[in-house]
Structure 1
């Protein structure tokens, strides 16, 4: 007498016997891959290793006595974390929040931090031959976090170092 588990195991065995193997996909060493997004007028890209996840804007509880760019504390699956208006931190101008707002969650010492962005473009890949000077992408406070850029389809993308942002003393000091 066969158990339901035996039946499922047989289905799996037969399915795998007919599966077509996918060719191995290797990432070229001279390729940069990351998450593309927009803050203000700048198109930015950050390494996949620096972005924990991308989620809808969580409900935020304001924190009294905090910097204006700290929107408050958010809760995601029972984990509390600060929610930072990245545009306001970098440019002094508040992000216009909208329905469907997304945040990038980045890891830093002491816990995750959510960063508001204006628009999410998703995965982007660039060949090293597309590398260009950052130019005006690195103007102002952005210059601390962008040291290179890529060009594609008449658009320039600044490589934004989230890890460096997390280690910046001003970013870590959220109290007024």
Structure 2
């Protein structure tokens, strides 16, 4: 009996499926909130995964004459130009101390991506509904426009920072002086 290549592949599939190990199902509660954790100044913040496009090292930045001081300039990532914003300076009026290994959060806004400098990246955090706390001091000052909820975890309080709201703020969208 002559077997076709298709018959041979079908036989391989049948035999491999017969020996496949079924992995246990991983369940995450519907009350779980997950996001990217970082620090801006002294505030520990988290933003939802669906608001962060990617996290990359800060690219070389070309200054833009006549721009707000919090607009560091224009960066290039894989051939795409985007503004690089000093988030700490935008929110607190203090310049972020840039260092080797500096990371930026890339967010999407209408018209293209924007990179935001952060002081420190902590990685992924997950919180249950029972960890919700009042934002308190995390929402003081200009942060109050973007932080409306918070969680307690790892001995810290984490303010949920709405990056999508930041991207729609008129002052943020008009960086010219």
- Which aligned runs of 4 or more in structure 1 are off by greater than 2 angstroms? 7-27
1:24 maps onto 2:25 in alignment: yes
2:56 corresponds in structure 1 to 55
1:54-87 Cα offsets, whole Å, 9 max, x none, are: 0011111111100000000111111110000000
Change (3 A) 1:70 1:15: farther
1:117 maps onto 2:107 in alignment: no
Q: Quick one: distance in 2 between partners of 1:117 and 1:18? A: 48
Change (3 A) 1:10 1:74: farther
1:13-162 residue pairs with structure 2 within 5 A?
18-162=19-163
1:90-111 Cα offsets, whole Å, 9 max, x none, are: 0000000000000000000010
2:173 corresponds in structure 1 to 172
Q: Quick one: distance in 2 between partners of 1:145 and 1:29? A: 24
Q: Quick one: distance in 2 between partners of 1:53 and 1:14? A: 40
Deviation at 1:152, TM superposition (A): 1.1
Which structure's CA Rg is the greater one? 2
Q: TM-score, normalised by structure 2?
A: 0.90
How many equivalent pairs are there?
176
Change (3 A) 1:26 1:65: same
Q: TM-score, normalised by structure 1?
A: 0.90
RMSD (CA atoms)? 2.4
Change (3 A) 1:85 1:23: same
Deviation at 1:9, TM superposition (A): 9.7
Deviation at 1:28, TM superposition (A): 1.2
Change (3 A) 1:113 1:16: farther
Q: Quick one: distance in 2 between partners of 1:17 and 1:91? A: 60
Q: Which runs of 5+ in 2 are unaligned?
A: 1-7
Q: Which runs of 5+ in 1 are unaligned?
A: 1-6
